[in-house]
Amino acid sequence: MKLLYIDCCITLRGPESRTRALAEAFLAAFRETHPAAEVETVALESLDIRPYLLPALREREALAEAGDFTGPVFALARQFHRADKIVVAAPFWDLSFPSILRVYIEHISACGLTYHYEADGCHGDCRGERLAYLTAGGDFEKPDSLGVLYWRQLAAMFGIPRFDCVFAGGLDVDPERVPAIMAEACERARALGREF
Ligand SMILES: Cc1cc2nc3c(=O)[nH]c(=O)nc-3n(C[C@H](O)[C@H](O)[C@H](O)COP(=O)(O)O)c2cc1C
């Protein structure tokens, strides 16, 4: 079984990153209960990807229309497509997440490979059974927090039936409350990682 870890833990806090703390809690627990699983990491900070503009978009479209998904432009989409389980960790930035994660989403959203259309709309084609989204925010979590909604809907679009989320919220409100918020959120991340 392969877990794809999408690491978007871009931070000004170095080793004190709250997002990374959630990811490490999740991954440590996952590895404990799934010793045979392979964890493959996509480190977004060291990935050379750009937003799609013309002519790259036209070139990718032509390959997709020809049904040729073997080339390097589809490498990230193929990797996402074949993962059994996926965990994404990203800080809450500008009401969603860092833009490099949006660029990554452009690269994995390949019509004909990770999803396709039928008469009744969009259908997902990814192999993944589960996707978890881990995020840390200065403000408190809200029912309509965009990063969470976005990943919930992406999971559905890609045909990944189960979505879970851990949001460590309110971290820039009162510094005294941060240790307690993080302890509780890391415990949720550990519990999710254990049963993931
Ligand atoms: C560029 C940037 C944008 C941010 N935007 C938001 C925001 O829109 N809403 C929010 O609640 N917090 C926002 N924050 C605060 C972070 O979510 C918060 O500090 C979080 O702990 C960052 O994760 P980290 O500790 O892993 O760096 C922002 C922080 C940065 C650096």
What are the tens digits of pLDDT across the range 8-19? 999 999 999 999
CATH code (residue 158): 3.40.50.360
Alpha helices by DSSP H, listed for 83-145, are 99-108
Please report how the helices 99-108 and 75-82 are oriented relative to each other, as an axis angle in degrees rounded to 10: 80
Condensed to tens digits (0 to 9), the pLDDT of residues 36-74 reads 999 999 999 999 999 999 999 999 999 999 999 999 999
Condensed to tens digits (0 to 9), the pLDDT of residues 105-155 reads 999 999 999 999 999 999 999 999 999 999 999 999 999 999 999 999 999
Q: Rounded distance, CA 129 to CA 155, Å?
A: 10
Q: How many domains does the chain have?
A: 1
Whole-prediction pTM = 0.98
Q: Which candidate, 21, 2, 3, 1, places its Cα nearest to that of 11? A: 21
How many angstroms does the Cα of residue 91 sit away from the middle of ligand 1?
6
* Residue span of the structural domain in which 169 resides: 2-195
Any residues with Cβ below 6 Å from ligand 1, and which?
A: 9, 11-13, 17-20, 91-95, 136-139, 171-172
Nearest CA to ligand 1 atom 6: 93
